[in-house]
A = this chain, B = another copy of it.
Amino acid sequence: MRRIDAEIAAEGGKRSRSRAQIMEVFFRSGRHLTVDELTRKVRVRNRNIGSATVYRTLKLLSRLGYVKELDFGEGVKRYESSLTAHHDHLVCTECGKVSEFEEPRIESLQEEVAREHGFSPTMHRLAIYGVCGRCGPPATGKGEE
């Protein structure tokens, strides 16, 4: 965590209280936050922090590889720490719940497909949309209504 400050300093950057607070709240919060959600959380600690600085901090962390930008097509970006293992997402179109999954077989098939098309893959985005267990059919049985 101090490693990030070191990396910023190595690039000629300076430390700052605002950025430190934003990073702390971000890495201690749940995943898949929007800038607006994060800004609110940060402002509980320090009411003076503006969202421009939250944007800047996330962009910086993204450039340094500590944060991943997510886009589930909501018109707003979401962010998560990239310190956790790679995974893809399941998004409930009813309640918005986001779950994570890892499926190595999908990963290697993607590599394979890319190679077959002459592409050197560098990243991918996979999101599966649907209805989660809570919002969907009541566990066992047929549909009602």
Q: Which A residues form the contact surface with B (CB < 8 A)?
A: 71, 73, 90, 92-93, 99, 101, 103, 105-106, 109-110, 113-114, 116-133, 136-137
The distance in angstroms between the C-alpha atoms of A90 and B116, with both chains bound, is 11
The distance in angstroms between the C-alpha atoms of A120 and B124, with both chains bound, is 22
A109 to B: closest C-beta gap in Å: 5
B124 touches A131 (CB 8 A): no
A128 touches B113 (CB 8 A): yes
The distance in angstroms between the C-alpha atoms of A130 and B133, with both chains bound, is 34
A37 to B: closest C-beta gap in Å: 20
The distance in angstroms between the C-alpha atoms of A67 and B129, with both chains bound, is 18
**Known interface pairs A125-B126, A125-B127; A132-B106 also in contact (CB < 8 Å):** no
